[in-house]
Structure 1
Amino acid sequence: MKKLKEVYQKKVLVLGLAKSGFTAARLLHKLGAFVTVNDSKPFEENPEAQELLNMGVTVICGRHPEGLLEEGFEIVVKNPGIPYTNILIRSALEKEIPVWTEIELAYLISKAPFIGITGSNGKTTTTTLLFHMLNQDNKKPLIAGNIGTVASGVAEKATPENVIVTELSSFQLKGTITFRPHIAIITNIYEAHLDYHGSVEDYTASKMKITQNQTSDDYFIYNADQPILVDHAAKCTAQGIPFTLKGRTEHSISADDKFVYWQGEKLIERSKIMLGGQHNLENILAATAAALLWGGTKETIIRVLTSFTGVKHRSQFIVNWKGRKFYNDSKATNALATKSALEAFPGQIVLLAGGLERNHSLEELRPYMDRVKVLVTFGETAERFAAFAKECGVPEVEKAGLMQDAVEKAIHHSESGDTILLSPACASWDQYDSFEIRGDAFIDAVKQLTEANE
């Protein structure tokens, strides 16, 4: 870990704890900063705050005092989830106090270079896939960021021989100043998180911060099938590496219906790639380009692509049983995510969908419902989903209880060649504590029912 003159003996306010805030506060204290932590959770219910107090960090819990910034703080490090409308953040910016997220701290202390991955969809899959490619090629990658591992904690232990493969949200990127990944990836941009950003322009600008400090020695991998990213890439200093699904190109990386190409040469047949879905092909192209740019071998990349089945709960392949392919896409908690899943899989789909009723529109699904031969629906939205499916002309609609019942009904109505897809388009909290628990219930039911009927 590098020492930081930027924080040594400086007064730093860490706003918001959780994993990232706790790690940032601990590191700043270790680096010689005078750290104050402010968190809304009461002290007696806040083990992270208690631990930091024992280290000698000043802790203010249970409230956000309006006059806190009058104490002469020189840097604010905020939890990514805290919006910029927060009174303390607004006040800091008015006073021209730098406001970081811990990604900025991670970059400043790291002895290892970064590969940064962002996008509206596909970040986690691309990050995980790239990590596996580099790991199997002995490139000593570390994985960090929005994927669940705090980047500054990873950077603390990184050496110059490592590379930190980092998933980055718009929330995290908005709070960066000097962050400069050697390779930056944007998988795609769609309208999202407007409640946080306030506008599409701010959301897009936050995403594009991933490349703002890059130089001509760096690489920017982007989706050339999206005009918005083509326009932004033209303004970037980094070497542009476009990817496209619209056919072979002589430069960069591309795909058509049969092959993936690198610089115009065939790399792999698409039929041999284990990770299914058109949307995942974008992730595959981005990760493959980054791995090759980092010195990965084609042989290793092909080996990973023919074995990697996906990130858990994100179009995750489970099993091929009697000609039926089962996929767990429990992370699809809105109609846009389920639309992407329906669009991704060819042939007939038995769709398992439903969950918490938040009165979200299902209309985005309508153009793709002709791919659904059977809908098995459950949860609070079961009646609304059933009515919608009948409007769309879905031949069979079944209402189920919990996941075991839903999978039984899906298998009963399926035949060889079908895709059985859990892609709920709803949050899980009416029946399950998280989308992960819901997805695990699906996996368990599939394994139990298929193994019992071999």
Structure 2
Amino acid sequence: MKTLNTYENKKVLVLGLGKSGYAASKLMKSLGADVTVNDRNDLSTDEHAKELRRDGVQIVGGGHPLELLEDVSLLIKNPGIPYTNPMVKKALEQEIPVVTEVEIAGLLSDAPMIGITGSNGKTTTTMLIGEMMKHSSFEPIVAGNIGTALTAIVQKATVRNAIVAELSSFQLMGTRSFHPHVAVVLNIFDHHLDYHGTVENYASAKARITANQTKDDYLVYNADSTRVVSYIAERSQAKKVPFSLNKKETSGAYVSGGFIFFKENRIMPVGEMGIPGEHNLINALAAVAAAGVCGVSPKDMANVLQSFKGARHRLEYVDIVQGRTIYNDSKATNIIATTKALHAFPNKEIVLLAGGLDRGNSFDALIPELKKAPIKAVLLFGETKKKLLDACRKATVPVIKEVENVEAAVPEAFALSQPGDVILLSPACASWDQYKSFEQRGDIFIAEVNKFR
């Protein structure tokens, strides 16, 4: 880890004691900063808070007293905390730098970084690149939005490592000098507009991944996305490495004659990929392009793409149970993600499990996709089940049933399906109305499925 004396004996405020806040606090304290952690929740019994107190970190929970900003040199905020938060607004008014832990990690890392962002597909692409990089001259460490906080990783990463980091728009918006050697941008859809306000603001946050890149760095980008091209690629100073499903991008990754290529090198037949769906083919092309510029061989790329079975809860293949093929796509918390899942099985009949938190949106955009997909039945649960019921009726889905939750949906799915069908959990909604997380929702789905073995 590089040395950073900028904040030695300076006051640093960490806003939000989540995974990233805990790691950032530990790191800044080790750098000699006077660290205070502030969280809206009561932290009196929190184990991480107790540990930080023992390390000499001041802990303030139960609200956001603005006087904590006095003489503060840096505010490190949890990525999910909006910029409308009174503490953040006041810090910006006082011209206190407001960053996320990604910025600190970037300043300190000895290891080169591959950063991956996009509205959909980040986790799968990050995991694919991580697997492919095991066959490079680097020892990869997968981190960021996918799991371990970057400020925890940089303390042990060396020049022998490569950090493969999934990065959200929330994380990237809080960066200033962040500089990955390879930046990967998958797509830009109308996501998180409640946080960013406009698509332009959202795209601007995503563009931070390449803002400080130079001609010695690489931008791997989706040449089929007009938003990625216009908002990001055209403005980047890095070497551009495109990937495309529709064009023969000979300076990057593409599909030709049913084969995946990187530049002039044929990697493998599309049909031999271990994960289904056109969206996963796009993720594979992005991974091939990123791994390719890092020196991974076509053979090693092919081996990974053939053996990789998907990220947990992202169109995750579970098993064949009583002849039904089971997929857990609990991470599909929006219409676009569910649409991609529905079209991943063109030759199978699908029993779909959907529903969840009501965020006030309609599901009209899902109607034509429900019509096109080979759906046998839909099981609906959660706050949105009435809205989804209306969409399914308009799409003339043959069988529609309302159930209480995922637990109740699984036995109905087996009753309405037959061997050869796909049972697919792809909710198109967040989970928080009934479950703590999409992970918990997916785990419960798998546990219920296992009862039918």
**Category of TM-score, reference length = shorter chain:** over 0.9
1:24 and 1:209 map into 2 onto residues whose CA distance is 20
Q: How many Å apart are 1:388 and its aligned residue? A: 3.1
Assess if the C-alpha contact under 8 Å between 1:141 and 1:163 holds in 2.
yes
Question: What amino acid maps onto 1:198 in structure 2?
Answer: G
Local SS of the residue matching 2:307? coil
**Counterpart residue number, 1:366:** 367
- Is the 1:119–1:186 Cα contact (8 Å) retained in structure 2? yes
How do residues 130-141 of structure 1 correspond to structure 2 at under 5 angstroms?
130-137=129-136, 139-141=138-140
The amino acid across from 1:194 in the alignment is L
1:175 is aligned to 2:193: no
Give the match for residue 235 of structure 1.
235
Contact 2:362 2:387 in 1 (8 A): no
For 1:36, the equivalent position in structure 2 comes to 36
- One-letter amino acid of the counterpart of residue 355, structure 1: G
Structure 2 residue matching 1:74: 3-state secondary structure:
strand
5+ long unaligned stretches in structure 1: none
3-state SS in 2 of match to 1:45: coil
Inter-partner Cα distance in structure 2 for 1:247 and 1:345 = 24
Corresponding position: 1:117 with 2:105:
no
> Aligned ranges for residues 94-109 of structure 1 at < 5 Å?
94-109=93-108
Native 8 Å contact 1:315 1:341 kept in 2: yes
State how far apart, in whole Å, the 2-side matches of 1:430 and 1:65 are. Answer: 30
Q: Distance in 2 between matches of 1:164 and 1:276?
A: 27
Residues 155-190 of structure 1: CA deviation (Å, up to 9, x unaligned):
011111001111111111111111100000011011
What amino acid does structure 2 have at the position aligned with 1:269? Answer: P
Q: After TM superposition, list the pairs within 5 Å mapping 1:7-18 onto structure 2.
A: 7-18=7-18
Q: In the superposition, relative to structure 1, how do residues 445 and 34 fare at CA in structure 2: closer, same or farther (>3 Å)?
A: closer
Q: Deviations over 1:118-171 (max 9, x none)?
A: 111111111111111112556310111111211010001111100111111111
Distance 1:321 1:195 in 2: 40
Q: Distance in 2 between matches of 1:442 and 1:43?
A: 32
Within 5 Å, give how 1:217-296 maps onto structure 2: 217-231=216-230, 232-256=232-256, 258-296=258-296
The structure-2 alpha-carbon separation of the partners of 1:91 and 1:356, relative to structure 1 and needing over 3 Å to count, comes to closer
The whole-number CA distance in structure 2 between the counterparts of 1:224 and 1:115 is: 19
| Whole-angstrom CA distance in 2 between matches of 1:429 and 1:197 | 21
CA distance in 1, matches of 2:323, 2:52: 55
Counterparts of 2:47 and 2:325, CA distance in 1: 44
**Paired residue type of 1:335:** I
What percentage of residue pairs aligned between the two structures are identical?
47
User: Where does residue 201 of structure 1 map in the other structure?
Assistant: 200
Aligned residue for 1:115, secondary structure, equals: strand
* Cα gap change, 1:409 to 1:20, in 2 (>3 Å): same
Does the 8 A contact of 2:135 with 2:296 survive in 1?
no
- C-alpha distance 357-63 of structure 1, shift in aligned 2 (>3 A): closer
Which position in structure 1 is the counterpart of 2:350? 349
Quick one: which amino acid aligns to residue 361 of structure 1?
A: S
Letter in 1 for 2:216: D
Q: CA offsets per residue over residues 320-375 of structure 1, 9 Å max, x none?
A: 46775321111122333212222333233222223345553121111111214322
- Cα 1:73–1:354, aligned 2, differ >3 Å: closer, same or farther? closer
Q: Which amino acid aligns with 2:21?
A: G
The one-letter code of the counterpart of 1:120 is S
Specify the alignment match of 1:338 in structure 2: 338
Find the aligned partners of 2:415 and 2:247 in 1 and give their Cα distance.
39
1:422: which partner in 2?
A: 425
Contact 1:181–1:214 (CA<8 Å) still a contact in 2?
yes
- Write the letter of the residue equivalent to 2:117: T
Which residues of structure 2 form unaligned runs of 5+?
Answer: none
- C-alpha distance 256-320 of structure 1, shift in aligned 2 (>3 A): farther
Alignment of 1:354-433 (within 5 A): 354-370=355-371, 371-380=373-382, 381-400=384-403, 403=406, 406-415=409-418, 417-433=420-436
Q: Given that residues 354 and 385 in structure 1 are in contact (C-alpha distance below 8 angstroms), is that contact kept between their aligned partners in structure 2?
A: yes
Over 3 Å counting, the alpha-carbon distance change for 1:234 and 1:385 in structure 2 is closer
Residue matched to 2:78? 79
1:104 alignment partner, SS class: helix
Shift of 1:253: 0.5
Query: Match for residue 441 of structure 1?
Result: 444
- Higher mean C-alpha displacement, 410-419 vs 187-196: 410-419
Q: Secondary structure at the match of 2:41?
A: coil
Answer whether contact 1:379 1:431 (CA < 8 A) is retained: no
Rate the CA distance shift 1:431–1:34 in 2: closer, same or farther, 3 A: closer
Match in the other structure for 1:186: 185
CA shift digits 1:208-266 (9 cap, x unpaired): 00001101010001111111211231221100111111143332101257221111442
The answer to which of 220-229 and 39-48 deviates more is 39-48
Checking the alignment, whether the CA contact within 8 Å between 2:11 and 2:35 is kept in structure 1 is: yes
Contact 2:66-2:90 at 8 Å conserved across structures: no
Note the alpha carbon deviations across 1:371-390, whole angstroms, 9 max, x for none.
14322313234455344323
Scaled by the length of structure 2, the TM-score of the pair is: 0.92
Assess if the C-alpha contact under 8 Å between 2:182 and 2:217 holds in 1.
yes
**CA distance in 2 between partners of 1:323 and 1:26 (Å):** 50
Cα pair 2:356 2:427 within 8 Å, conserved: yes
> Residues of 1 paired with 2:423 and 2:437: CA distance?
21
| 2:305 alignment partner in structure 1 | 305
Residues 40 and 62, structure 2, Cα contact 8 Å, conserved in 1: yes
Q: Please give the per-residue CA displacement for 1:50-98, whole angstroms capped at 9, x wherever unaligned.
A: 32222112333222222332x2122211111221122222222223222
| Structure 1 pair 385–97 and aligned structure 2 pair: CA distance change class (3 A) | closer
- Return 212-221 or 81-90, whichever deviates more: 81-90
**CA shift in 2, pair 1:203/1:138, >3 Å:** same
Instruction: Write the distance in 2 (CA, Å) between the matches of 1:401 and 1:73.
Output: 49
RMSD: 2.2
